[in-house]
Amino acid sequence: MLSRLKTALIGSPFPTRQLGEKRLNKIQALASFSPGALSSIAYANQEIYLGLVVAGSAGLGLAWPIGLAITLLLVVVALSYYQTIQGYPTGGGSYVVARENLGTQPGLLAAAALLIDYILTAAVSLTAGVEAIASAFPALYGIRVEIALAFLFIITIANLRGLRETGTLMAIPVYLFLFTYLPMLAFGLFRLISVGSVPLATVAPAATQPVTIFLILHTFSTGCTALTGIEAMSNGVPAFMPPESKNAGRTLIVMAILMGVLFAGSIGLTQFLGIISAPDETILSALTHHLVGSGAIFIMIQFVTMLILAVAANTSFAGFPQLAAILAKDGFLPRQFTGLGDRLVFNNGIISLSLATAVLIIISDGISHTLIPLFAIGVFLAFTLSQAGMVNHWWQQRKKTASWFPKAAINGFGAVTTLATLLIIVVSKFVDGAWITVLVIPILLIFFHRIRRHYIAVGKQLSLSGLPPELKPSPPLRLVVPVSGVHRGIIDAMNLAQSISKDVTAVYVELEPGAGEQMLKDWKCWWPDVPLVILPSPYRSILRPILDYLDEDDSRHNDGTLAAVVLPEFVPARWWQALLHNQTSILIRTALIYRRRTKGYQRVIIDVPYHLKK
C-alpha cells in the first residue's frame, strides 16, 4: 500500500541511465531557478516601504534612490556570478569556489551561510505569497499558516517527481507572472508620462521618525533581500542541458535583466505615483490596485503574485539539495544526502529542506516580516566569499587565460561591494534578529567538523592498513538461540544453528513461575541433543536475563570471542499486524547491536525470519 501511494505521488522510478536525459533547457531552467529572484520584488518592496514610511514623505522620497542602488548592486553580483559559471562549468557555488581558492574553512563558512539562506528563502517566499492573496481576500489571513504549509507540500512533491517535471510545473506561474507584471509596469510608465507624478507630501502619512543614516542603511539592507536567488544558478549548472555553462550563463543574464526591470520599475512607480498602502495590504497590492482597479484583473494579478511567491521556494529546492550533496560527498554532512531517489533527484535534501521550512513557517506564525531580519546575511556572506575566491582563481589561471585581469577586477569589485553590503546588513539588522543567523553559522561549522571527524575515524577503523596477511584461526563458534516456545517459527533457526556449529545452546526466559518445566519437556521431544537453559525473570524482563547470560557464558569460556546469537523472528503478512505482536527479537537485536564492548570483540547476530501467511 505504501509503495502504491509513493508511486502515485512521485511517479515510477527512473533508471540511472536516464540521468543525463533529465536536464533542463533554458526555458525550464529559468522557471526552476528564477522564481526566488523574480518574486523578491514583493517582500523587498514591502520592506523598503515599511522602512521609509515612518519618516513620512521625506522617507518615501528615498525609495527610488535606494532601489537604484540595489539594482546597481544586482548588476555587479550578476556579472560576478556569470564569470563564476564560466570559470566553473561543472557547478561553482560559493562553497566550491571558496573551498578550492580560499581553503576549507572559508568554504564551509559559505556553505553554512547558504544552507541557512535557502531555508529562509523558502519560508519567506511561501509566507509572502499567502500575504499577497490575503490582500485581495482578507479572510484568508487567519489560516495563513495552513495555506503556506499546503503550498510547501505541493512544491515538495513536485521536486520529488524530478527536475524536468519541476521545471514544467514551475513554468506556469513564472511566465504568468512575467506576462502580467511587465505589461502592468509598462502601463504604469505610460500613465506616469501622460498624467505626471503625484507629490508624496499630499498622500504620505505624518512622520513618526526623522530621516537618519541608520534609517537609510536599515532600509537598504532589508531591500537587499531582492538579490536572493542568484546563487542557485551557479550551483545548478549541472542541471542544464549541454553546453551547461553557456546555457546557465545566458539564463542568468536574462534573469538579472528581468529582476532589474521588475524591481526598479515597481519601486519607481510606487514613489512617483504616490502609492500608499492600507494597513491590511502590501505595497505591491496597492500599486496593482491603483493601476488596474479592484476588479477581476486585480484579483488575477494578486493570485499570480501568490503563485510566483509560492513557487519561489523552488529556488531553494533547486539549490539546497545540490549543495547538501556536495557537502556530504566531502564528508561534512551525512552521506545519505548524496543518494539519488527514484526520480533521479536528491530526495533526502528535498525532504530535509521541506521539514526545516515547515518549522520556520510555524514558528513565525506565517508572517514574512518576522523572518526578514534573519534574511540576506547568509547570501551576502556567500557572495563575498565566492567573489574573493574567484579573484584567486583568475590569478591562478593568469598564464592560461589572457583576459584574467579584467575578470579578476570584476570579481574583486564584486567582493568589495558585497562585503560592504554585508557589514551594513549585520550592523543595521543585528538587534532586529540578525544575531540569530550570526550565532547559527558557527554552530553549523562545528556540526560540519564533528561529522567530518566521525567519518575520518570510521575510515581509520575500517581500513585494512596494518592488517597481517595471515589470519589467526578462530576458536569454535558458540551459538546461543533465544526461543519463546516450541513452534514452527524456531525450526529454521535451530536447523541453521546446528548446521554451522556443534556448540549450540537454547535459552528460554521464564516470565511466569513453572512455565520453564513444561518448556523443558516439550524441548526434549524435538531437540534432545541441544541443551535448553531456563532463565528465571522475577521482574518480567526478557532482555536483562538474556544479556546477563551471554556475559556469563563469554566469561566462562574466556576464549577471546563472543557467542553468536541466532534470532528466530516471524514476519507478519501485513504491516499493521506487526503492531499486534511484541517483536521481542527486534528488541534483543537492537540491544545486542548497540551494546558497547570494551575489549573490542564482536558479537555475530544472525536473523532467521519465518514468514507468516495471510
How does pLDDT run across 90-128, given as a tens digit for each residue?
A: 766 788 888 989 999 999 998 998 899 889 888 888 888
pLDDT at 345 over 60: yes
What's residue 356's pLDDT?
94
The string of pLDDT tens digits covering residues 195-247 is: 888 888 888 888 888 888 888 888 888 888 777 767 767 767 777 888 888 88
Q: What is the pTM of this model?
A: 0.73
Average pLDDT, the chain: 82
Q: Which of 500, 494, 493 is nearest to 477 (CA)?
A: 500
Range picked from 32-36, 358-362, 435-439 for highest mean pLDDT: 358-362
pLDDT at 531 over 90: yes
What's residue 189's pLDDT?
92
Domain ranges of the chain: 2-11+24-457, 478-611
What 3-state DSSP class applies to 403?
A: coil
Q: Which of 52-61, 188-197, 597-606 has the lowest mean pLDDT?
A: 597-606
Instruction: Return d(Cα 261, Cα 29) in angstroms, integer.
Output: 20
Q: Which of 571, 477, 483 is nearest to 527 (CA)?
A: 483
What's residue 348's pLDDT?
87
What's residue 484's pLDDT?
86
The answer to whether the CB of 320 falls within 8 A of the CB of 33 is no
pLDDT at 82 over 80: yes
**Backbone angle region of 262, left / alpha / beta, with phi > 0 → left and psi within -120 to 50 → alpha:** alpha
pLDDT band, very low/low/confident/very high, at 436 (cuts 50, 70, 90): confident
Residue type, 433: G
What's residue 587's pLDDT?
85
The string of pLDDT tens digits covering residues 11-24 is: 555 554 454 455 67
CB atoms within 10 A of CB 468: 6
Q: 2-11+24-457, superfamily in CATH?
A: Amino acid/polyamine transporter I (1.20.1740.10)
What is the gyration radius of the CA atoms in the chain, in angstroms? 32
Instruction: Return d(Cα 27, Cα 32) in angstroms, integer.
Output: 9
Grid cell for residue 457: 575515524
Grid cell for residue 608: 532467521
What's residue 88's pLDDT?
79
- CATH number of 478-611: 2.40.128, 1.20.120, 3.40.1130, 3.40.50? 3.40.50
What's residue 225's pLDDT?
75
Cis amide linkage into residue 106, ω under 30° from 0: no
Look at 559 and 438; give whichever has higher pLDDT.
438
Instruction: Return d(Cα 313, Cα 334) in angstroms, integer.
Output: 24
What's residue 504's pLDDT?
93
Q: Output helix, strand, coil percentages for the chain, rounded to the nearest 5.
A: 70, 5, 25
pLDDT at 429 over 80: no
Is-same-fold flag (2-11+24-457; 478-611)?
no
pLDDT band, very low/low/confident/very high, at 361 (cuts 50, 70, 90): very high
What 3-state DSSP class applies to 505?
A: strand
Considering the chain, what percentage of its residues have pLDDT values greater than 70? 89
pLDDT band, very low/low/confident/very high, at 534 (cuts 50, 70, 90): very high
What's residue 303's pLDDT?
85
What's residue 2's pLDDT?
47
Q: Which of 19-33, 68-82, 399-413 has the lowest mean pLDDT?
A: 19-33
pLDDT band, very low/low/confident/very high, at 506 (cuts 50, 70, 90): very high
The string of pLDDT tens digits covering residues 322-338 is: 888 889 989 899 988 88
Q: Which of 182-191, 376-385, 439-448, 486-495 has the lowest mean pLDDT?
A: 376-385
The string of pLDDT tens digits covering residues 148-193 is: 899 898 888 888 876 555 556 667 888 898 999 999 999 999 999 9
The answer to whether the CB of 350 falls within 8 A of the CB of 318 is no
